[in-house]
Structure 1
Amino acid sequence: MNRRTMMRGGAALVMAAALAVSGCAGNGTVNGDTAAGSGDAKPAEAAGDATAALVAGAAKLQEQSFKTTIDMGTSGNISGVMDPKTKTGEFLMEAEAEGTKMKTEMRIVEGTNYVRITMPGVDIPGMDGKTWRKLGGAGGTGTLGGFDASDTVKSLEAATDVKWAGDKAVTGTIDLTKAGQQLGMGTSDLGKLTTKTIPFEAGFDGEGRLVTYALTIPAIGTDTPVKMNMTYSDFGTPVDIKAPAASELAKEG
């Protein structure tokens, strides 16, 4: 799942951000959870340290299941649910390329990824909207087989210049040479970067959990910049996802 397959759509996967997971920091609520910028106190763990708040907020996303949405504007959107402890989740990715609407469904069951793509007029197993393909994950981070919605926020480990931008929001910069793959960028695209450091915004709820994360992937070649607005909500939501039945899997070979 490189940047083109993940964010621009395309034949193989047309759309699958490594579930970087994002959201624009600002006022508002997300499914009942208070989002960045509202309230009158910084996360308790932070005690005035913006970097500490960011690290703690991202770490909390590894502790509970959650719902997430990644809005990429005209490039499409991703929504789903993830349990980071059991490595189980389910996501729907929708995009439109050259007037053709495409849908990608993904299930992650105990760390194994299954994908089913619906492309009008395509009758290839795994892309016919009927059968699923089991992905081996050989490509590692930044590929569909290695997709894990809870990994996206790990890109924040490469954050620098973190500063408060309100009571529950921070801004900073991220080095894409260190975090690009976690945001769905392929090795080839990373090598073509002319802008390697980009700004981001992030916000927390009243318990210090990361609930919004926003950044813009710069243009590469003829591609246009892609703004990713990620949100996390409904912490502790039940996640009961089953792997596709053997009869639903496309035959290999």
Structure 2
Amino acid sequence: MRTVKLLVTAMITATAIAGCGDESDTMDNNASVPTVSAAPTVVQDAAKKLTAAAEKTATTTFRYRAADPSAGGTIEGDTDPKAPASTATMTIDLDAENKLTFQSIAAGGAFYLKISGLPSTGGTDLSKYWLKADPAKITGSLGLLDAKDPIDVKAILNQASNVKSDDGALYTGTLDLSTTTTDGLLFDTDAAKQLGDKAKSVPFSASVNPDGYVSGVRISVPAYGTEAASESSVTLLGFGSPVDATAPTGTQVMNMPEQMYTVLNAQ
């Protein structure tokens, strides 16, 4: 989840700007993600069935949780792709005692971000405010928190080939991510470019629950550039549950400083 690493870098850099004053109700931290089983060959039309599950998932609300062990971080939230509306909380462990937390709310075409854990600079304490941002001005990694569907399961799995399953619950195959045009929690455009031909055949596995929704996806990203081989995974649950994305109001809101857009979009 390279986007998380970039966002951490961006927010630490932004502290200088802050100083200028300008299926369960509980997310399981140990929720399982799909693992590959040996030689699945039984299910007929596996690719069509997986595509149908991805399309069904994209039409409803859901909760999600993703982790990036290499960056010591997690992100979880809920989203309504149709509204669109979403909330998210991203936590990054900087060391044993310090962490950064980003909370976001997207509702009614507006986007709000709240940040805690930034070093004090003696200026405005931004952690006390929801920063109202203009989504049109955000082109960097932060944009994934404002996405209608930050997982984008349908778009990802539409690129699947060699799809197999032996039980209709676990699917495996490869993804052609060479034409990826948007960043998401599972994959990003920069990785696709640097992977070159490797991006045309990236191994994946996906779980489908008994109700026909995609409940987990794991992508095994090959090594590229200075990046070691890694796995990106996400767990989805709570399909159809309401999304409470209520926009903050009054004195708890301040406009995001213009300089911060420059810092975030440069990442």
Q: Out of 104, 107, 111, which is 1:106 matched to? A: 104
Check whether the contact 1:103–1:118 (CA below 8 A) recurs between aligned residues: yes
Letter aligned with residue 117 of structure 2: M
Aligned ranges 1:143-158 → 2 under 5 Å: 143-145=141-143, 146-149=146-149, 151-153=151-153, 154-158=155-159
**How much has 1:112 moved relative to structure 2?**
3.4
Secondary structure of the residue aligned to 2:118 is coil
State TM-score, norm by structure 1: 0.74
Secondary structure of the residue aligned to 1:212 is strand
Aligned ranges 1:148-187 → 2 under 5 Å: 148-149=148-149, 151-153=151-153, 154-179=155-180, 181-184=182-185, 187=189
Letter aligned with residue 80 of structure 1: G
Letter aligned with residue 201 of structure 1: S
**How much has 1:199 moved relative to structure 2?**
0.7
Letter aligned with residue 149 of structure 1: D
For residues 53 and 111 of structure 1, what CA distance do their matches in structure 2 show?
34
The unaligned stretches of length 5 or more in structure 2 are: 13-30, 259-267
**How much has 1:189 moved relative to structure 2?**
4.4
Q: How large is the RMSD of aligned CA atoms in angstroms?
A: 3.4
**How much has 1:126 moved relative to structure 2?**
9.8
State TM-score, norm by structure 2: 0.70
Letter aligned with residue 194 of structure 2: K
Residue by residue over 1:77-99, the C-alpha shift from the partner in whole angstroms, topping out at 9 and shown as x without a partner, is 11111122211111111112466
Larger Rg: 2
Corresponding position: 1:206 with 2:203: no
Corresponding position: 1:95 with 2:96: no
Letter aligned with residue 49 of structure 1: D
Letter aligned with residue 88 of structure 2: F
Structure 1 match to 2:231 = 227
Quick one: percent identity of the two aligned structures? 25
Count the aligned residue pairs. 227
The unaligned stretches of length 5 or more in structure 1 are: 15-21, 28-35, 37-41
Check whether the contact 2:33–2:217 (CA below 8 A) recurs between aligned residues: yes
For residues 125 and 177 of structure 2, what CA distance do their matches in structure 1 show?
31
Structure 1 match to 2:195 = 193
Structure 1 match to 2:20 = none
Check whether the contact 2:7–2:141 (CA below 8 A) recurs between aligned residues: no
Corresponding position: 1:82 with 2:79: yes
